[in-house]
Amino acid sequence: MTWKIDPAHSQVQFSVKHMMISTVRGHFEKFETEATINPTDITQSKVVAKAQAASIQTGEPQRDAHLKSPDFFDAETFPELVLETKQVKAKGEDLVVDAELTIRGVTQPVQFKGEVQGPAKDPWGNQRIAFSLSAEINRDDFGLNWNQALETGGFLVGKKVKLELEVQFIGS
Query: What is the pLDDT averaged over residues 39-51?
Result: 93
Q: What are the φ/ψ torsions at residue 38 (nearest 5 degrees)?
A: -110, 100
Return the pLDDT at 151.
67
Return the pLDDT at 21.
62
Query: What is the pLDDT averaged over residues 31-41?
Result: 92
Nearest to 90 by CA among 36, 45, 135, 121: 45
Query: What is the pLDDT averaged over residues 157-170?
Result: 89
Helix, strand or coil for residue 133? Answer: strand
Return the pLDDT at 15.
83
Q: Which domains does the chain have, with CATH numbers?
A: 2-171 (2.40.128.110)
Return the pLDDT at 148.
62
Query: What is the pLDDT averaged over residues 49-56?
Result: 96
Query: What is the pLDDT averaged over residues 75-101?
Result: 95
> Hey, what amino acid is at 119?
P
Most distant CA pair in the chain, distance = 59
Return the pLDDT at 79.
97
- pLDDT > 60? residue 150: no
The set of residues, in sequence order, having a beta carbon less than 8 Å from that of 136 and lying 6+ positions away, is 160, 161, 162, 163
Per residue in 93-118, pLDDT (tens digit) is 899 999 999 999 999 999 999 999 98
Within 13 Å of residue 97, how many CA atoms lie on the same side as its CB?
28
Query: What is the pLDDT averaged over residues 24-37?
Result: 93
Query: Residue 19 — very low, low, confident or very high, per pLDDT cuts 50/70/90?
Result: low
Q: How deeply is 37 buried, as exposed, middle or buried, from its count of CB atoms within 10 A (0-12, 13-18, 19+)?
A: buried
pTM, full prediction: 0.89
Query: Residue 155 — very low, low, confident or very high, per pLDDT cuts 50/70/90?
Result: low
